[in-house]
A and B are shown apart, each in its own frame.
Chain A
């Protein structure tokens, strides 16, 4: 900011109290303003559900951009803003690609890698070549009139218009929900074709610069070699940085706060490094995300994981919004507009037709090698889903108009092509998918059996492959996981994270968690939280339960759990999603009986305050003993295979059970008056189990009649189920994510009539801040970033988990 530069002699300018320093802030201000406008636009769009169901967001944003551009133009006659390639390639594209790589479902991706590579490489080359050559051919016939381009220019144009664009594909497919295989193929193609695009573009660009006459065979050969160098080099850079990132994340235990920063910085560096070495930057950052996923997620704390997740989604979504909006704005720039009907029309025709032909041929070839065949419908979707987007636009804007004389024509054509694919194809793809009855993603309950059998399959198939001497997928996968387990994990993962968590365990956890939630919800519904009022100690839980029943959404514990954006909630969302598909009450009831099983994960006993290993194992052993004892008793009765639901058995029993149950939870349910040391929570498992095993007479597997509970939950959650962050997240994959939830379950149900003394009554337990154990997985706090589960290492939780307020 500059004061007006009057000569100091004339100092009659008095001190201005407030001054308007526009120039001072102009640049950041305008950027921030545009971002704000874009975000506001998103809000406005989503106000109307009807509109967003039909029109993809990207289309709406483009239109908005056109509109805004029009305004600016009308006001200023200056095409002031446009999507400059620098901004695009350095700031807008990386977040999107990183997001794609970090959340890539690896197994699916690598399982289909062959197909993806074929489409990405051969497909793109085919598209580029045919489009370029055809346009040139037509040009030669003179229909296009006078143009200043030669063969190389056409090929250059072909190469940049040929590439399927990841941003556009994500934006559109995300709303369409086709099945995973289809999605991963199209999306993978859009990511991996960058190498080809970069190479072709650079090659033809430099050829154009050299001049058509001087291109020699050597240059062509160099071009081919450069393809391999660029792609493999980019990938290597990505993998290198992934390794670096995982390694770094291993040691960030003491700097939890900046953990998320590492992820972004190092990934971004991989992008820039590849760019610097003129390798494929998109490939670099993609593979950085893909490779570091597992280790980073295992190493960093839950909050950091959440932070990373949300920040990534936010940046990616924001970047996408801005890209589309600016695509619209940039179009309003009459200076660049050159119209050549034949060229434009033919381009559109050629890219569509050749894409279809390419897809068909390649699929035919692929189907000989694929076990899961790609049918006609899949091919249609793949052809139709080959959207062009901002990458093409940025590339064309990068052209040097001294070398490429027809740059403006190319730009105009590209704009029209991009608009056409995004708007028209984006609009029509949904109805097309529905009309063709494309197989959609199935959201299913994670059945334990499924997981188990899935695992069995893997092993069986590996074995068969071994026996028959084949090198197959499973063989390779097995080899990889052995290698990973032996070497990579030791280097890249924190020791605590190295104990591998089995997928099956995760499902089991989640089921248990689900049951726990439903149980609590059910309890609330019955108003049985009244038990929390307990007269025996000074520290009263002063909660007024006569007040609005938990039927009002706000006061429900489970609502709270769902509402908080902690890691539990992410899973909650996934859980709720699954819950919505619960068809039978029996399902839930069966899962509810799972509660009966003390699941005790061997590997994760993260005591909050304990820093001593020793204490760990002591309690461990005790618990184990009791656990086994109780389990054995329970299973005795199961052996008589009495498996059933006792409806006749009571309600009062259930009540009592609730009460008993809830008392145990009492300390957990927040209220403002719980003392900070939480003596209440310090009853060890041992105590409870002992009392448990005493009263284990008629040990039936009673289950709550959860029918209404389920509905309640379902109703409650309908409103709370927030959208997955738009733009990038494919809901199929989000559920895969957070695995780092460790749970320890208390024996939830004692199926008898135990009049369990309130925990406070029992409380003279050895408690010290060190020997601390949270018994139930549910904890409430109003810090939305808190983890709800007993997940963190001792160092993590120095604060007391005294919840600050009560919501009841």
Chain B
């Protein structure tokens, strides 16, 4: 397990402890278990994040849809998306790594699992994202989403003829959008502290 996910055994132990905490010593976690984490409440996109844990695509299972519960292995799988890059990775590994992380993001945005992020889905995401700010109107959020979508369209497709229809952002387009931005260094969590400081209630 350790090698396939490139997480050290120390980290596995720690995560296991955490898993037990969350699941209240059961073997699996359900969505409700995530509610017990106090700080998560303030997070505007918690819905999507929790959802991501149960998304079968992230769990590397062939099927689609949502799992009802996940076990520790799945938990680890999700966590492994956030491991930092190692010094000794070569180009190909880095590329794969990057794709994996981006795929995770993509799945989060693409809620209906159709492989495309449509305008409505995008709007949804942006609205949620900005919902933490009480002064930001929903409509403003929408217009921002639309603007962003346009931007994305222009990057991915460039100039379009008057009859072309842009249906949504596919994964390839998504990759294009992220060209040049080093997501590998940004999207990771340091598994440093061995003692859990934040407890569940």
Contact among B140, B144, B181, B188 with A448 in the assembled complex (CB-CB below 8 Å): B144
Binds A, one of B57-65, B66-74, B151-159: B151-159
Sampled A-B contacts (30; CB under 8 Å): A373-B87, A455-B129, A463-B40, A463-B49, A464-B82, A467-B22, A467-B40, A470-B189, A470-B192, A470-B197, A474-B189, A475-B198, A482-B42, A504-B130, A504-B144, A584-B158, A587-B154, A589-B154, A590-B150, A591-B151, A599-B143, A600-B137, A602-B140, A628-B139, A638-B119, A641-B165, A642-B163, A644-B162, A644-B163, A700-B162
Q: Which of B3-45 contact A (CB under 8 A)?
A: 15, 18, 21-22, 34, 37, 39-40, 42-45
User: CB-nearest residue of chain B relative to A373?
Assistant: B87
The answer to whether B153 and A463 have CB atoms under 8 Å apart is no
A736 at the interface (CB under 8 A from B): no
The answer to whether B192 and A468 have CB atoms under 8 Å apart is no
Cβ–Cβ < 8 Å partners of B96 in chain A: none
A463-B40, A466-B40, A598-B143 as given contacts; A643 in contact with B198, CB under 8 Å: no
Q: How many A residues touch the partner, as a band? A: 35 or more
The answer to whether A453 and B143 have CB atoms under 8 Å apart is no
The answer to whether B150 and A594 have CB atoms under 8 Å apart is yes
The answer to whether A502 and B18 have CB atoms under 8 Å apart is no
Shortest Cβ gap from A228 to chain B (Å): 24
The answer to whether B159 and A644 have CB atoms under 8 Å apart is yes
A371-B185, A459-B129 as given contacts; A449 in contact with B151, CB under 8 Å: yes
The answer to whether B139 and A642 have CB atoms under 8 Å apart is no
- Tell me the complex Cα distance, A453–B191, Å: 23
Cβ–Cβ < 8 Å partners of A450 in chain B: 181
A586 at the interface (CB under 8 A from B): yes
- Tell me the complex Cα distance, A642–B165, Å: 5
Cβ–Cβ < 8 Å partners of A459 in chain B: 43-45, 49, 129
Among B139, B152, B180, max chain A CB count under 10 A is at B139
A460 at the interface (CB under 8 A from B): yes
The count of chain B contact residues (Cβ–Cβ below 8 Å) is 70
The answer to whether B192 and A369 have CB atoms under 8 Å apart is yes
- Tell me the complex Cα distance, A205–B22, Å: 58
User: CB-nearest residue of chain A relative to B145?
Assistant: A452
Contact among B15, B105, B143, B162 with A456 in the assembled complex (CB-CB below 8 Å): B105
The answer to whether B189 and A594 have CB atoms under 8 Å apart is no
User: CB-nearest residue of chain A relative to B182?
Assistant: A372
Query: Which label, helix, strand, loop or mixed, suits the secondary structure of the A interface?
Result: helix
The answer to whether A460 and B45 have CB atoms under 8 Å apart is yes
Cβ–Cβ < 8 Å partners of A700 in chain B: 162
The answer to whether B44 and A631 have CB atoms under 8 Å apart is no
B103 at the interface (CB under 8 A from A): no
Cβ–Cβ < 8 Å partners of A475 in chain B: 39, 198
User: CB-nearest residue of chain B relative to A449?
Assistant: B148
Other than A448-B147, A508-B147, A594-B147, give 9 A-B pairs with Cβ distance below 8 A: A466-B43, A468-B15, A478-B42, A511-B147, A599-B140, A602-B136, A627-B139, A631-B139, A641-B119
The answer to whether A642 and B162 have CB atoms under 8 Å apart is yes
User: CB-nearest residue of chain A relative to B198?
Assistant: A469
Cβ–Cβ < 8 Å partners of A336 in chain B: none
A261 at the interface (CB under 8 A from B): no
User: CB-nearest residue of chain A relative to B137?
Assistant: A602
A18 at the interface (CB under 8 A from B): no
Shortest Cβ gap from A325 to chain B (Å): 42
Q: Which of B147-201 contact A (CB under 8 A)?
A: 147-148, 150-155, 158-167, 177-178, 180-181, 185-193, 196-199
Shortest Cβ gap from B148 to chain A (Å): 4
The answer to whether B119 and A456 have CB atoms under 8 Å apart is no
A122 at the interface (CB under 8 A from B): no
A730 at the interface (CB under 8 A from B): no
Shortest Cβ gap from A507 to chain B (Å): 9
The answer to whether A644 and B18 have CB atoms under 8 Å apart is no
A461 at the interface (CB under 8 A from B): yes
A586-B159, A631-B143 as given contacts; A465 in contact with B148, CB under 8 Å: no
Cβ–Cβ < 8 Å partners of A472 in chain B: 189-190, 192
Contact among A603, A627, A643 with B135 in the assembled complex (CB-CB below 8 Å): A603
Cβ–Cβ < 8 Å partners of A641 in chain B: 119, 165-167
Cβ–Cβ < 8 Å partners of A456 in chain B: 45, 105, 108, 125, 129
Cβ–Cβ < 8 Å partners of B142 in chain A: 631
A463-B40, A641-B166, A645-B160 as given contacts; A586 in contact with B130, CB under 8 Å: no
The answer to whether A371 and B190 have CB atoms under 8 Å apart is yes
Shortest Cβ gap from B183 to chain A (Å): 8
Encode A424-454 as 1/0 by CB contact (under 8 A) with B: 0000000000000000000010011110111
The answer to whether B43 and A597 have CB atoms under 8 Å apart is no
A593 at the interface (CB under 8 A from B): yes
The answer to whether B185 and A460 have CB atoms under 8 Å apart is no
Shortest Cβ gap from B45 to chain A (Å): 5
Binding site for B on A (CB under 8 A): 367, 369, 371-373, 444, 447-450, 452-457, 459-475, 478, 482, 499-500, 502, 504-505, 508, 511, 584, 586-587, 589-591, 593-594, 597-603, 624, 627-628, 631, 635, 638-646, 648, 700
User: CB-nearest residue of chain A relative to B11?
Assistant: A468
Encode B64-92 as 1/0 by CB contact (under 8 A) with A: 00000000000000010010100100000
- Tell me the complex Cα distance, A598–B181, Å: 29
A511-B147, A631-B139 as given contacts; A466 in contact with B198, CB under 8 Å: yes
The answer to whether B105 and A648 have CB atoms under 8 Å apart is no
Cβ–Cβ < 8 Å partners of A460 in chain B: 45, 49, 105, 108, 187
Cβ–Cβ < 8 Å partners of A631 in chain B: 139, 142-143
Contact among A461, A469, A598 with B82 in the assembled complex (CB-CB below 8 Å): A461
- Tell me the complex Cα distance, A454–B105, Å: 11
User: CB-nearest residue of chain A relative to B45?
Assistant: A459
Shortest Cβ gap from B73 to chain A (Å): 15
- Tell me the complex Cα distance, A644–B164, Å: 7
- Tell me the complex Cα distance, A441–B2, Å: 37
The answer to whether A635 and B146 have CB atoms under 8 Å apart is yes
- Tell me the complex Cα distance, A29–B22, Å: 74
The answer to whether A447 and B187 have CB atoms under 8 Å apart is no
Cβ–Cβ < 8 Å partners of A598 in chain B: 143
Shortest Cβ gap from B15 to chain A (Å): 6
Shortest Cβ gap from A111 to chain B (Å): 11
Cβ–Cβ < 8 Å partners of A474 in chain B: 189
The answer to whether B144 and A508 have CB atoms under 8 Å apart is yes
Cβ–Cβ < 8 Å partners of A602 in chain B: 135-137, 140
The answer to whether B187 and A461 have CB atoms under 8 Å apart is yes
- Tell me the complex Cα distance, A472–B143, Å: 33
Cβ–Cβ < 8 Å partners of A642 in chain B: 162-165
Shortest Cβ gap from B144 to chain A (Å): 5
Cβ–Cβ < 8 Å partners of B79 in chain A: 464, 468
Cβ–Cβ < 8 Å partners of B137 in chain A: 600, 602
Cβ–Cβ < 8 Å partners of A599 in chain B: 140, 143-144
The answer to whether B105 and A502 have CB atoms under 8 Å apart is no
Cβ–Cβ < 8 Å partners of A586 in chain B: 154-155, 158-159
- Tell me the complex Cα distance, A467–B200, Å: 9
- Tell me the complex Cα distance, A455–B43, Å: 11
- Tell me the complex Cα distance, A281–B66, Å: 58
